Amino acid sequence: MDFCFDNGVFKEVSNSPPTPKTASCSTPHENAHPALSEMLTNCVHCGFCLAVCPTYQMTGDENNSPRGRLRLWREEAEGRLAPDPFTAHYTTECVGCLACEPACPANVPYGEILEQVRHQHVDAARTRPPLSLRFAAALSKRQWLFNLAMFPARILRSLGILPHKFLFAGSPPLMESTAGYAQRLMAEHRPTGPRVALLTGCLMESVFREINFATVRVLIENNVQVVVPPDQGCCGAFQEHLGLDGIDQLRDQNRAAFGKASVDAVVCNSSGCGLALSKTLTDQVPVRDVLGFLGELKLAQRTPSEKDALVYVDLPCHLIHGQKQQGIPANVLNATGYRWELAPQARDCCGSGGIYNIQKPENSQEILRGKSEFLNHATGSPVILATSNHVCMMQWNSARSAGLVTRPYQVKHVIQLLDPGDKGLRRGGTRAVS
Amino acid sequence: MSLFLSPCANPETCQMNTTLESQLKRTIRRGRVLSSPAQLAGYNTDGLGYKTFRPDAVVIPADAEEMIALLRESRELNVPVTIRGAGTSLSGGPVAAQGGIVVHTSSLKKIRTISRDGFWCEVECSVTLNQLDEALRAHNLFYPPDPSSGPVCTLGGNVAMNAGGAHCFRYGVTSNYVLGLEVVMLDGSVHRFGGPAGGRGDWHEDWKRLMVGSEGTLGAFTRFWLRLLPRPEKAWTFRATFPDLHSAEKAVHGLVVHPSFPVAIELMDPRFVAMVENSPMAVGLPTDAFLLVTEIEGPAVLVDARVHSVAQLLKDAGALEVNFSDDEEQRKKLWKARKVAGGLMGQLSPDMIVQDAVIPKSALAELLQLVYDEADAIGIPAINVFHAGDGNLHPNFLFDSRKPGELERVEAISKRLMRRVVEVGGTLSGEHGIGNDKARYMPLVFGPESLRLQLAVPATFNPRHQLNPLKVFADRSFVGANGQKLSLKHAHGDEHSEKNEAGETLGPRLFTPFLDTIDGVTCVAADITASKLDELIGPHRLRFPLLMDASLPLCVQVKASEYAPASSRFGELCDNIIGMNWRLADGRVVRIGERVVKSTTGYDLLRFLMHSDGRFGEPVDFVLRLRPHCGMDGLIELSGPRAVVTKAMPELLQSCWMNWFDSVDVLAESKSEILTVRIAINTPSDEWHVFESMLAAFASAQKLAFRTIPQAPAPIDGCPDFALKTTPDRAIALASELAATYGIKCLALCYNGVVHGYLNDVANAATVVQKIVQSHATPLHESGGDWHSRHLPRPAAHGVEAQWISVLTTEFSKK
């Protein structure tokens, strides 16, 4: 948005991309994207972002804050700072939670700037993501390959064997794909309401497939038609978080896959992937968080068997800061039938950051320590920590093995709390008409 | 924009930095020392983003201990030291203007104690305002100063800059709320000035007063004791638009004296409104209108009774439309247009200067026009926001510092603007502080005499200007341990720094007698009596409620006690005397302070001198902050046995009604077992019954006798023979103990924690006071309190204090 001040009045100039304000006295760094240097000048240095930044709160180091990072990037981009290893360091320290975006009064597009800078740094070999993550990112480009590689994880989980701190409990189907399952249920139940396409996601489909199945069931129970475009792929979040090449291919793939489906919306059950996909399909079809979408319907009500359970709801950063949603709709949480309340500091980051907990395990655990402390004293039997993002669930799960939480608790996706189960699914009866 | 190259481009600086780094790492073991060029770049500015100064090192001490150890090494380190909180200052404050070390206090962020009964809290210097507010909520207390950077700004920064905020019109600024502070000097010595009891502590002079607003130039703060108020129960927010300045001003002038005492009055000009309405943040305001947002808060019964008279006031002034609400969501919407402005300006323009002038309200029209004329002449946008209550004008200039000459042109406008501000009786800064940015304008305010008095302060604590050089006064340049002077090459814009222009020496600028009925400010002789003062201001429905004696001169009263009963609502005397003509010990008369109610221009000599005991001189004239007379005075008395009253009082004091009583005292007389609570109220006559019923109900619930005396003026007890300053939770007990022990009359000023004593036999006064002081001085001093008596001089200063006094005296007497 460009404005000019004309005769005492501000007027919008045009909708075209802003022209770079390169003045004669500055010497932009060679690699600086013109739009990037433009975006960097938005920051008025007010410091409001410091209050919400997890790494600033943890370290007290100005450089480890959005304002600090923007300053370093701008100093380098405008030639006043020679490329410095610490700039790369502080860039990798950023969790990418985007809490700074809503806090910023000047609307600095921090997320977009971060994505570009990460990419620049990797390109220029200033940062080298760990081999394991680069490998995972490479695998994620081909869904069938990713599924194959993660098959053992699925088996172990289905057997109740959880050898890794990030593997939370659940029973993923082993053979049937979500696409196949959705097709089967659609034929069986023939819903007549709004029509959505589901992003199955690389990690969700390959490791935590039970959440995809639950999503399909909940949608169909509420009379929503569900299609799962078979040629979809990873949303590209891996590449984006790590600054790797290859995002464009993945985006093209998904544009092709979802563009073909004639649907009212594309729904996602993980906020990070939803954010990434929404940037891909901007002008094509609305991308919605599945819980936000369900919140607009009259929902089937559950009656859980665990009467004393208490659900603590944590809000994923990429839902509230990235997608700029208020939160998880109260009517959706009420429909679960559980007693629920927001977890303390529900709007603060859990430290997952997508792959941050693998890249920066100490930071990640430190952030989780503060957030998870309350579970040690929480009431409820069982105590259930519920959220709507699989990587956040992984992070919450790790609190146990890290010794941060020393009493039993469950980690669930909110959609699982709405799930009627394969046998329980039926149309009519308590189902609300949409 | 300064093109500062990495220090390591210059081998000499690189060598110096490595040595500095290793020196620092020897002292800082648990904290962090940052020295890479990128790490230093991150600290090169504060909220005034376009002016950059890269430090030579950054230290993040792990705790107060490391901060003290660091300062102890400062002579060895021999480089400037700049203390930094969150770095949100708008005046180029916590920046390394002459290089050296930036000390980031971010690790000191604990809230240590909250005392509900004592109305105080103890916090470390890097606690943020919002963090404090969250913690105080549970105790139904709040800390009133509210700069808009509340989510991130630190108490350390607030105290260093004497921060204000939208609510300070009603509640006062930071210096009204600092009960005590702990400061580390350059030699590593640690001193506590004041404490929970909010007095001087065990010192001869009130050094705390020089520290607040000293902008990091005298010492490093580690923790504070802060005064708190009961949280208001409810608020109503109003938003109104006006077709022209005349009608907007009419509304402002009406609101300023309205009995509802609005907590904030924000006025925005049509250019502001146009900017908002032509942006995605538009809220549907008529363009070409002035926008006013105001708020009242207090007990629900009281504010609900007042809301319509405020709305009517706005309509009668000529408002185009008036919206108001008490609903949380709606109130946010009403404030929205005001709150989005800063960020919007940031999006519209690469750079922005916001000035912080405080002016007499009567000069608003002229200053606005000047801003428009100057900005239009060079073709840059200017938008005005006015904290209308206290005359604090924020013109915002949007520009691009990358355009050749633009920054210089904007700075030239600022200078002309500041000159006019001072000429009309205003001051350079109301809340942002002087920093590095406004130091160049100080010669507009301080002539050679006043400047010498000001510079006497750093001469006492920081003579080589090692702490935060080039701030507040441009003359304050760092002098190394070997006498070497630092060149100014590190300083941005040194080619623009101003000294006194040739041929232009500022005169004494003494205050002359005046009465400004719009601002509610008057200048009178210091020896004026209460009755004479009332003759002058009464006809204008103004009053000065802090007088305790009808016939004694005001200056005698100021000596007798720093508090009056009405301090409960309006603060200490030094918060109500905003300027003085002061006669120094050698007979010269100088101007101290301002004639506008809010100022952070220079060191707070006003409060320091007012609390000194005559060594540095005497007041000649006072500039007083007056209050509106709301209609009627009245007195309500509750009485009962000592135990019953003592038990009941905390509940009354902790309710937000307390802010609406002029005074709440407890009278303890001689050997009587009965204590009388006296509540003086000044209110419109149609609200009297609201107070009456509330207090009658309270009395009944607490089983106290109730007596109402409408139309009774506030009690005049006369100047006390002694005044003890303790914490609020001890005042009543102390008053009744003293009354019983010595057979005298004692008045507990409950909220302020002050006990005023009235002796029967003044002939023997010195002996009695001596006895009282002997038995009570120690516990008073331990909590940072103190004692005053016109019958007994203060004990002589000793040790380091004697040195400080000696330096000050010498500096003051220089010609």
How far is the C-alpha of B41 from the C-alpha of B603, rounded, in Å? 30
Q: Which residue of B has its CA nearest to A43?
A: B346
Q: Which residues of B touch A1 (CB under 8 A)?
A: 280, 347
Put simply, whether A19 touches B (Cβ < 8 Å) is: no
Residue ranges with strand state E in B14-92: 32-34, 57-60, 81-84
Q: Which pLDDT does position B10 carry in this prediction?
A: 52
Q: Which of B42, B346, B381 sits opposite A71 (nearest CB)?
A: B42
Q: Which residue of A has its CA nearest to B107?
A: A60
Q: Which pLDDT does position A429 carry in this prediction?
A: 35
Mean pLDDT of A332-336: 97
- List the one residue out of B633, B634, B637, B635 whose CA is nearest residue B698: B637
Q: Which pLDDT does position A24 carry in this prediction?
A: 28
- List the one residue out of B620, B615, B610, B555 whose CA is nearest residue B585: B615
Mean pLDDT of A66-72: 97
- Provide the pLDDT confidence category of residue B497 given band limits of 50, 70 and 90: very low
Ramachandran sector of residue B746 (left: φ over 0; alpha: ψ -120 to 50; beta: rest): beta
Out of A371-380, B110-119, B213-222, B485-494, which region has the weakest mean confidence (pLDDT)?
B485-494
Contact B780, B725 (CB under 8 A): yes
How far is the C-alpha of A81 from the C-alpha of B4, rounded, in Å? 8
Q: Which residues of B touch A68 (CB under 8 A)?
A: 42
A interface mutation test: which of B44, B58, B110, B152 has the most A CBs within 10 A? Answer: B152
**CB–CB of A81 and B34 under 8 A?**
no
Q: Which pLDDT does position B280 carry in this prediction?
A: 77
What tokens does A263 get?
């649907």
Put simply, whether B340 touches A (Cβ < 8 Å) is: yes
Q: Which pLDDT does position B503 carry in this prediction?
A: 43
Pairing mode, strands A310-313 and A339-342: parallel
How far is the C-alpha of B644 from the C-alpha of A365, rounded, in Å? 54
Q: Across chain A, what does the average pLDDT equal? A: 89
Contact A141, A248 (CB under 8 A): no
pLDDT tens per residue across span B579-615: 999 999 999 999 999 999 999 999 999 999 999 988 9
Pairing mode, strands B745-749 and B754-758: antiparallel
Q: Which of A1, A25, A44 sits opposite B404 (nearest CB)?
A: A25
Contact B151, B162 (CB under 8 A): no
Q: Which of B58, B346, B400 sits opposite A106 (nearest CB)?
A: B346
Q: Which residues of B touch A43 (CB under 8 A)?
A: 49, 346
The pLDDT of residue B709 is above 90: yes
Task: Name all contacts of B302-309 with Cβ < 8 Å and 24+ positions apart.
Answer: B302/B657, B302/B660, B302/B687, B302/B690, B303/B233, B303/B234, B303/B235, B303/B236, B303/B260, B304/B234, B305/B687, B305/B690, B306/B259, B306/B260, B306/B687, B307/B236, B309/B258, B309/B260
**CB–CB of B346 and A71 under 8 A?**
no
* The 3-state secondary structure of A97-126, one letter per residue: CCCHHHHCCCCCCHHHHHHHHHHHHHHCCC
- List the one residue out of A215, A208, A199, A197 whose CA is nearest residue A147: A208
- Provide the pLDDT confidence category of residue A427 given band limits of 50, 70 and 90: low
Helix axes A390-401, A361-372, angle to 10 degrees: 80
What tokens does B571 get?
């603060």
Helix axes A178-189, A209-221, angle to 10 degrees: 20
How far is the C-alpha of A272 from the C-alpha of B238, rounded, in Å? 41
Rounded to a whole number, what is the distance in Å from the CA of A134 to chain B's nearest CA? 27
pLDDT tens per residue across span B730-775: 999 999 999 999 999 999 999 999 999 999 877 888 999 999 999 9
Taking a contact as any Cβ pair under 8 Å apart, which residues of chain B between 367 and 386 contact chain A?
Answer: 380-381
How far is the C-alpha of B279 from the C-alpha of B273, rounded, in Å? 10
Name the phi and psi angles at A87, rounded to 5.
-60, -45
Rounded to a whole number, what is the distance in Å from the CA of B785 to chain A's nearest CA? 34
- Provide the pLDDT confidence category of residue A261 given band limits of 50, 70 and 90: confident
DSSP state at residue B575: G
Q: Which residues of B touch A52 (CB under 8 A)?
A: 151
In the Cβ-directed half-sphere of B753, how many Cα atoms lie within 13 Å?
A: 24
The pLDDT of residue A26 is above 80: no
Q: Which residue of A has its CA nearest to B128?
A: A51
A interface mutation test: which of B402, B403, B406 has the most A CBs within 10 A? Answer: B402
Residue in this structure with the two tokens 């620049």, named with its chain if needed: A120
Put simply, whether B41 touches A (Cβ < 8 Å) is: yes
Q: How many CB atoms lie within 10 A of CB B529?
A: 18
Put simply, whether B286 touches A (Cβ < 8 Å) is: no
Q: Which residues of A touch B151 (CB under 8 A)?
A: 48, 51-52, 103
Chains A & B: contacts with CB separation below 8 Å: 149
pLDDT tens per residue across span A366-404: 999 999 999 999 999 999 999 999 999 999 999 999 999
- List the one residue out of A59, A47, A60, A27 whose CA is nearest residue A108: A47
pLDDT tens per residue across span A143-181: 889 999 999 999 999 999 999 999 999 999 999 999 999
Q: How many CB atoms lie within 10 A of CB B233?
A: 16
Contact B715, B678 (CB under 8 A): yes
Q: Which pLDDT does position B344 carry in this prediction?
A: 79
Q: Which residues of A touch B278 (CB under 8 A)?
A: 3, 9-12
**Coil, strand or helix: which one is B686?**
helix
* Secondary structure tally for chain B: helices H, strands E: 25, 34
Taking a contact as any Cβ pair under 8 Å apart, which residues of chain B between 413 and 442 contact chain A?
Answer: none
Q: Which residues of B touch A82 (CB under 8 A)?
A: 6, 37
Q: Which pLDDT does position B13 carry in this prediction?
A: 56
**CB–CB of A45 and B343 under 8 A?**
no
Q: Which residues of B touch A70 (CB under 8 A)?
A: none
The pLDDT of residue A20 is above 50: no
How far is the C-alpha of A121 from the C-alpha of B13, rounded, in Å? 29
Q: Across chain B, what does the average pLDDT equal? A: 92
Helix axes B765-782, B728-742, angle to 10 degrees: 150
Per the DSSP assignment, residues forming a β-bridge with B525 are B621
pLDDT tens per residue across span B410-462: 999 999 999 999 999 999 999 999 999 999 999 999 988 899 999 999 999 99
ipTM over 0.85: yes
Put simply, whether A75 touches B (Cβ < 8 Å) is: yes
The pLDDT of residue A13 is above 60: no
Q: Which of A8, A81, A103 sits opposite B38 (nearest CB)?
A: A81
Residue ranges with strand state E in B684-753: 705-710, 722-725, 745-749
Contact B703, B640 (CB under 8 A): yes
Alpha carbon separation from A427 to A297, A420, A431 (Å, rounded): 15, 11, 6
What tokens does B33 get?
């020392």
b/e B1-13 (16+ beta carbons within 10 angstroms → b)? beebebbeeeeeb
Residue in this structure with the two tokens 């305002």, named with its chain if needed: B129
Q: Which residue of A has its CA nearest to B35?
A: A86
Rounded to a whole number, what is the distance in Å from the CA of B226 to chain A's nearest CA? 22
| Residues in contact with B438: Cβ distance below 8 Å, sequence separation at least 6, in sequence order | B91, B356, B418, B428, B429, B432
Mean pLDDT of B142-153: 92
Mean pLDDT of B770-782: 95
**CB–CB of B274 and A48 under 8 A?**
no
Taking the CA atoms of chain A, what radius of gyration do you get in angstroms?
22
Q: Which pLDDT does position B340 carry in this prediction?
A: 77
**CB–CB of B42 and A46 under 8 A?**
no
Percent of chain B residues topping a pLDDT of 90: 83
Taking the complete model, does pTM exceed 0.90, yes or no? yes
Q: Which of B47, B287, B403 sits opposite A46 (nearest CB)?
A: B47
Out of A208-217, A313-322, B484-493, which region has the weakest mean confidence (pLDDT)?
B484-493
Ramachandran sector of residue B678 (left: φ over 0; alpha: ψ -120 to 50; beta: rest): beta
In the Cβ-directed half-sphere of B228, how many Cα atoms lie within 13 Å?
A: 31
**CB–CB of A26 and B1 under 8 A?**
yes
